[in-house]
Structure 1
Amino acid sequence: MLISWIYSSSSAALLAALAFPPQQSQTQVLDASTGAPIPYASIGVQFKPVGTVADATGRFAPQALAAAQPADTVLVTCVGYAPQKLLASQLADLPAVRLTPQPHALSGVTVRASAWKRQRVGHEGSFSFTHYNFHLNGDAEPARKLGREVGTVLALRPQSELEDVHFYVGNNSFRGVRLRLNVRALDADDNPAASLLTQDIHYQLPDGAKGWQHLDLRPYRVQTGQNDRVAVTLEWIDGAPDPARDWQVLLMPAPLNPLHRMVYRDKSADQWHSLRASLSLYVTAVSPRD
């Protein structure tokens, strides 16, 4: 049906307002020492599946945390910085959040090369009837996945160093997917906790990529310290769906296994959940011999 109407200056103003709706207010995460933006910082409501991830310029929309209560605690975090806590009620009108650099000293342990043992630790299989999917039924918007994290708990000798990580992608319909690798100590409740990394480590997943993915960790000196178990996780920090696909997936095989433990959470400050399953992820670890 064709509708005719009179074009006027008021009509033009109305059209402009409809075509370019008011932009959401944004907050930027900055380095407290240099004032530089902190890309891909994580923002989450403590113990709740509410949060987001800043973009490459450190900006995020506080509206992404609209489900938070005013008295909820918001955690702003990034590897290499001390976490910043603030109330959700403070965030709406805050132009910037400044994080203080927190250098993480290496252990300094020196062992002769002949005293090291190299081994693969984790699940090297890729066949499974069950999978972890980064995309959930309730994800109406791509941003809904920002901060989602999954990983596995690995047993290692103390003072190990991780040389690389491999993880398997069974299917992928997203574009521009960026994942953050993390290696975490376990707390008293056996949940992933403090990061053991000294640098923020990202992996850019090629569009349409499937199969085993490899990330070289040697430039980052990833050391486990005195921990004999760590959680190695992947956090979704960017990515967009393929508009040509009706259903979106990014699958990782995770066969059920009573001897292995997969951990996951929906946002960066959410509670951790676990499942007895073998996520298709393994590392090459170099450890001191007995």
Structure 2
Amino acid sequence: MNSPISWSDLALNLGLGVAASVVFFGVIMAVATAVKNHSIIDIGWGPGFAVVALVSFLASAGDGGDDTRRVVVLALTAVWGLRLGFHIGKRNLGHGEDPRYTRLLASRKSGSLVAFLVKQIYGLQAFLLFVVSLPVQFAMYQSAPLGVIGWIGVALWTIGFVFEAVGDWQLARFKADPANEGRIMDRGLWAWTRHPNYFGDACVWVGLFVLALGHWSGIVTVVAPIVMVKLLVSYSGKKLLEKGMRRKRGEAYEHYIATTSGFFPRPPRRRPAPSATADR
């Protein structure tokens, strides 16, 4: 962790990261406004990280970063981000605007629509994209070879990616089967955690943070997995989803909560079956 690092080049890259985040979500905002569907921002969330990773990879060429680390970080970020964007796009396109965004837009009382969108939706997303992508940007300038710590990061990323991708696939397959109408998804990874996709997402970003520990400066990027986990557990992820599921599905979902871990995977607990079931 004592290998040299080009601070001026890293600082320039951070500036480019800010610019890439702003331009990317600016384009998304323009498209979403034109088609009158602001929920497409969800599709852009994952690919946005791939864009920042690519900008950082190109900007760091020849600046002393270990090429293996640079390629691995770019590849892992791009694979995660593009898969997530494809999955959300396949799930959401053709279903109109997400009610969350419709309600948010309805809450605007006056003032510029553009200013409202920047402050309440797109500006916040650009800021979060930049902050969460800090490990990716820092890792590009670290000259130390991956070593044991780096491969631990790759292993954590792999565990997370498998949980997220398999969990999403299992849920999509479950919902596509008419025989599952009126039932809650509690099979496969969903029997071990109520949110295998969120747990996987958290592991992915912890893994990318570990990949940024080839230099002591990478420690500061711990803010990225902290912010991501906070979003997944306390804000737009688990908390919001479960609030709606409890209100909508009642006893069946309460039973699922009582028997299944809320985040970290573990074997399900045994409880009496509920008197009614509901679709997840």
Under TM normalisation by the shorter chain, which class is it? under 0.3
Structure with the largest fraction of strand? 1
TM-score calculated relative to the size of structure 1: 0.22
Query: Quick one: higher RCO (CA 8 Å, sep 6+), 1 or 2?
Result: 1
TM-score calculated relative to the size of structure 2: 0.22
Larger radius of gyration: 1
